[in-house]
């Protein structure tokens, strides 16, 4: 159940989140220092029950203990540490009501307390974590563009075009349509089509010698959430070429070989993969004559299909590296490319957030299990940094939501106080903090329970 792949992905997720949380909390810390606000503790991971793997300040360094370092010489000195609970980290700011202190525990009378600062300083301290996550994502995207470049599958370079599912055809697509625009904006990269389909109101395709525009339904996003794969909607159109055969399968018994290209089923021409599969389903469980090319020779064979209309073969993709356009970036070119990628990821994430409130979206909510599942089964630097950048964007957006206990909740309180020109009572802030924290805990329990249910059932 929990094999080496599980633990490896868990390690990748932990490494990614550790980087993101450290950078996020560093944003709060840096702005607090800039405005000379006291910071009691700055920790990676939580030091539950006051136990830390490492803790230090100018008074000493300790490993694996429950000892609170002395701070009598300088009460405003920061204690740094690494906790033992790998669920993020925190930056405990003096005089601030948050997940580390309520209003009675926070030292609000100190001159370097958070509450003693102006609204602009408080705002920058609170937004600092979100800013750092966005900046980190952009830096990662810049680095990826500079180091690895970018592979683009130009729609114009697709040798056989695109084929569509039954749902897509009901909407108005036809096999062979070449998508050229969404909402009037031209698109050239096939790999970008998925996000556009989720968000666009209409699509323009090249069909025959002209272009046709038609509307996309609002339910398309929930379809993708349910199917979890854009290829359930459209796929690259190509012939069915045998890559390998199942031992003692129908095709193997009929003496087909790797490299054979199937072009006919029961006297019906089937030039493309979808044509072959649709014809085979009509003859499920029966014997059918198929035509195929072996080299330049057209051959025929009678094949007894399986009960679900399968030949027992693995097909070969004819879309290879030669169809990709590789773009290399200088550092000067990578900077705007990284900025554009960061903005695109944030924009798409914000627009797709509405899907969370649909029935299918709620079913697909996941916690640490779902996050870990998106990481590869082996260490691939490009994948690791790409996923880390994406999670950084998601973390920034989620943290800025106006929910008490999140950065956005604190900012909401600052805005309210600026409007009414007086601070909210400490009792009200405590209650809001408890409500927000309780909501987050319940949400975490729910999404991780959803992961467990999907894993076992």
The string of pLDDT tens digits covering residues 197-207 is 888 899 999 98
Q: Tell me the pLDDT of the chain averaged across its residues.
A: 88
Q: Give which of 93, 87, 78, 168 is closest to 128, Cα–Cα.
A: 93
State the pLDDT at residue 146: 98
pTM for the model stands at: 0.83
State the pLDDT at residue 130: 97
Q: 56: helix, coil or strand?
A: strand
Cβ–Cβ < 8 Å for 392, 20? yes
Q: Where are the alpha helices (DSSP H) in 353-402?
A: 359-364, 368-373, 381-399
State the pLDDT at residue 208: 83
State the pLDDT at residue 73: 43
CATH code linked to domain 155-235: 2.30.42.10
Average pLDDT over residues 28-54: 90
- Per residue in 359-404, pLDDT tens? 777 777 778 888 888 999 999 999 999 999 999 999 999 999 999 8
Residue 446 Cα distances to 267, 395, 450, 451, angstroms: 55, 18, 6, 9
Phi, psi values for residue 22, rounded to 5°: -60, -45
Classify strands 178-182 and 240-245 as parallel, antiparallel or unpaired.
unpaired
SS3 for 388-399 is: HHHHHHHHHHHH
Give the chain's length: 457
Cβ–Cβ < 8 Å for 273, 163? yes
Q: Give which of 85, 46, 133, 100 is closest to 410, Cα–Cα.
A: 100
Phi, psi values for residue 104, rounded to 5°: -80, -30
Q: Is the pLDDT of residue 28 over 90?
A: yes
Cβ–Cβ < 8 Å for 93, 39? yes
- Per residue in 255-305, pLDDT tens? 999 999 999 999 999 999 989 998 999 999 999 999 999 999 999 999 999
Binned at pLDDT 50, 70 and 90, residue 72 comes out as: very low
Cβ–Cβ < 8 Å for 201, 215? yes
Question: ∠ CA(199), CA(202), CA(206), 5° rounding?
Answer: 120
Q: Give which of 46, 50, 125, 36 is closest to 83, Cα–Cα.
A: 46
CATH fold of the domain at 240-315: Pdz3 Domain (2.30.42)
- What is the rounded end-to-end Cα distance, in angstroms, of the chain? 13
**Alpha-carbon 315 to chain mean position:** 29
Cβ–Cβ < 8 Å for 38, 77? no
Cβ–Cβ < 8 Å for 117, 37? yes
Give yes or no on whether 155-235 and 240-315 have one common fold: yes
- Per residue in 114-139, pLDDT tens? 888 999 999 999 999 999 999 999 99
Looking at the DSSP bridge assignments, the partners of residue 294 are 297
Average pLDDT over residues 4-31: 92
State the pLDDT at residue 229: 62
Dihedral sign (CA 307, 308, 311, 313): negative
Q: DSSP string of 191-217?
A: GGHHHHHHH-SEEEEEETTEEEEEE--
Distance CA 3, CA 394 (A): 28
What is the enclosing helix (H) or strand (E) of 303? Answer: strand 297-304
Q: Determine whether 67 is exposed, middle or buried from the number of CB atoms within 10 Å of its CB (0-12, 13-18, 19+).
A: exposed
- Per-domain residue ranges of the chain: 4-138+388-456, 155-235, 240-315
Residue 408 has a CB neighbour count (10 Å cut-off) of 20
Dihedral sign (CA 118, 124, 127, 129): negative
Distance CA 430, CA 255 (A): 75
State the pLDDT at residue 71: 45
Q: 143: helix, coil or strand?
A: helix
């Amino acid at each position: 159940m929990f094999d080496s792949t599980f633990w490896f992905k868990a390690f990748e997720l932990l490494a990614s989140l550790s980087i993101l949380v450290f950078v996020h909390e560093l944003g709060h810390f840096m702005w607090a220092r800039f405005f000379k606000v006291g910071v009691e503790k700055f920790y990676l991971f939580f030091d539950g029950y006051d136990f830390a793997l490492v803790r230090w300040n100018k008074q000493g360094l300790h490993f694996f203990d429950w000892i609170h370092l002395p701070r009598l010489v300088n009460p405003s000195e920061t204690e740094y540490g690494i906790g033992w609970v790998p669920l993020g980290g925190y930056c405990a700011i003096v005089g601030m009501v948050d997940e580390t202190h309520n209003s009675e525990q926070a030292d609000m009378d100190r001159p370097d307390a958070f509450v003693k600062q102006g609204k602009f300083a408080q705002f920058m301290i609170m937004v600092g974590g979100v800013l750092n996550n966005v900046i980190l994502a952009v830096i990662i995207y810049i680095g990826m563009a500079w180091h690895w470049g970018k592979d683009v599958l130009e729609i114009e370079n697709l040798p056989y075009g695109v084929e569509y599912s039954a749902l897509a055809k009901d909407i108005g697509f036809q096999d062979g349509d070449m998508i050229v625009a969404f909402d009037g904006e031209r698109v050239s990269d096939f790999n970008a089509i998925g996000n556009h389909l989720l968000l666009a109101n209409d699509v323009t395709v090249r069909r025959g010698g002209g272009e046709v525009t038609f509307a996309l339904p609002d339910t398309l996003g929930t379809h993708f959430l349910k199917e979890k794969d854009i290829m359930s909607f459209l796929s690259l159109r190509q012939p069915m070429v045998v890559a390998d055969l199942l031992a003692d399968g129908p095709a193997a018994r009929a003496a087909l070989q790797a490299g054979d290209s199937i072009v006919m089923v029961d006297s019906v021409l089937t030039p493309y993969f979808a044509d072959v599969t649709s014809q085979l389903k009509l003859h499920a469980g029966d014997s059918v004559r198929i035509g195929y090319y072996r080299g330049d020779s057209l051959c025929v064979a009678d094949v007894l299909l399986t009960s679900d209309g399968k030949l027992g073969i693995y097909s070969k993709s004819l879309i290879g590296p030669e169809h990709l356009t590789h773009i290399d970036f200088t550092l000067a070119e990578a900077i705007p490319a990284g900025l554009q990628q960061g903005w695109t990821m944030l924009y798409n994430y914000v627009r797709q957030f509405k899907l969370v409130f649909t029935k299918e979206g709620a079913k697909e909510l996941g916690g640490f299990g779902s996050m870990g599942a998106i990481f590869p089964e082996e260490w691939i630097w490009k994948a690791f940094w790409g996923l880390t950048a994406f999670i950084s964007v998601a973390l920034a957006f989620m943290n800025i939501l106006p929910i008490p206990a999140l950065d956005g909740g604190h900012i909401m309180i600052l805005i309210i106080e600026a409007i009414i020109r007086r601070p909210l009572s400490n009792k009200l802030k405590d209650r809001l903090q408890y409500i927000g924290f309780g909501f987050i805990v319940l949400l975490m329990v729910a999404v991780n329970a959803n992961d467990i249910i999907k894993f076992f059932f």
